[in-house]
Copies of this chain bind each other. A is one copy, B any other.
């Protein structure tokens, strides 16, 4: 077996159709993306949801990878929860102890928010952060570190020894755009090149990495019925990654009353007005931008994984 083996997943959400098209074209034209001599496995995360053009059928597949959930699933009839079955199937096939065990996973997503081309990392695993730092050094992509959010757990990437999400937007659900496909491809190529550089000893790490730490999320104002009573303010729409200051407008209602930001100056909003997060009561998330020196043990951990 050639190591490391890299799993590239697209269509974890069935209405994010740019990644799946890229993988489909890569299968048709193997020279399209240089796999750098790595053993790359391609998978559609949620084929049943993709066939219907829906984010998911029974539950969000990208919240279905928490080990505790799987313990429950194996004890109960999982037939009524198609995503739980699919999560277990992906692990059985490509998980670290699966039939074709993979060491790393890259999960391709898109968003209706103006996130540009960016990386999402779950928690502070040294291997994830080292790999993200290498990609940031190559392409300058912002990194969103999602952690410590009790309401959002069980992400796919967490179940492999190393895993990143590539997130590209804005693009509507169920729309393919050539610019979105191109950005996805550039980020994926940068990840594969970074992995190769660690393997062959040519990796050039930056001295520091810029991280956006997840702090929490805000919902739109709602009335007692639960119906939204305001919208994202036009001055905020499309301004992902741009620091807020106190008094900046966040929401606007039908009669033009605004709700303003009253938090700490400099917090950075992400995933502003993402279509799929309305059901999670998230109109945007807030992050804190920090610059971290790159510790030696991150690099060693990634080198060790890829040895």
**Residues of A participating in the B interface, judged by any CB pair closer than 8 Å:** 21-22, 24-26, 28-29, 32, 53-54, 112, 170-179, 181, 223, 227-229, 231-234, 237, 252-255, 273, 275-276, 278-279
Distance from A6 Cβ to chain B, minimum over Cβ atoms (Å):
20
> Which residues does chain B contribute within 8 Å of A231, judged by CB atoms?
21, 176-178, 181
Contact of A254 among B181, B229, B234, B278 (CB under 8 A): B181
| A255-B32 contact in complex given A112-B172, A172-B173, A173-B275, C-beta closer than 8 Å | yes
CA distance A70 to B10 in the complex (A): 41
> Which residues does chain B contribute within 8 Å of A279, judged by CB atoms?
53
> Which residues does chain B contribute within 8 Å of A24, judged by CB atoms?
227
Distance from A175 Cβ to chain B, minimum over Cβ atoms (Å):
5
Complex contact B237–A178 (CB within 8 A): yes
Most buried by B among A253, A254, A255, A276: A254
A112-B172, A175-B275, A176-B228 are known contacts; what are 15 more A-B pairs with Cβ within 8 Å? Answer: A21-B231, A24-B227, A28-B254, A29-B254, A32-B255, A171-B172, A172-B172, A172-B275, A173-B173, A174-B276, A176-B273, A177-B273, A178-B234, A178-B237, A181-B254
> Which residues does chain B contribute within 8 Å of A252, judged by CB atoms?
178
> Which residues does chain B contribute within 8 Å of A228, judged by CB atoms?
21, 176
CA distance A232 to B22 in the complex (A): 14
CA distance A28 to B171 in the complex (A): 32
> Which residues does chain B contribute within 8 Å of A233, judged by CB atoms?
178
Complex contact A254–B25 (CB within 8 A): yes
A238 (CB) vs chain B CBs: closest residue: B177
CA distance A220 to B141 in the complex (A): 31
CA distance A26 to B253 in the complex (A): 12
| A275-B32 contact in complex given A22-B254, A234-B179, C-beta closer than 8 Å | no
Most buried by B among A22, A32, A170, A176: A176
8 pairs of A and B residues whose beta carbons are closest in the complex: A172-B172, A25-B254, A174-B275, A112-B172, A178-B231, A175-B275, A176-B231, A178-B234
A179 (CB) vs chain B CBs: closest residue: B234
Distance from A19 Cβ to chain B, minimum over Cβ atoms (Å):
13
> Which residues does chain B contribute within 8 Å of A21, judged by CB atoms?
228, 231
Complex contact A29–B255 (CB within 8 A): yes
Contact of A174 among B32, B173, B176, B255 (CB under 8 A): B173
Distance from A79 Cβ to chain B, minimum over Cβ atoms (Å):
21
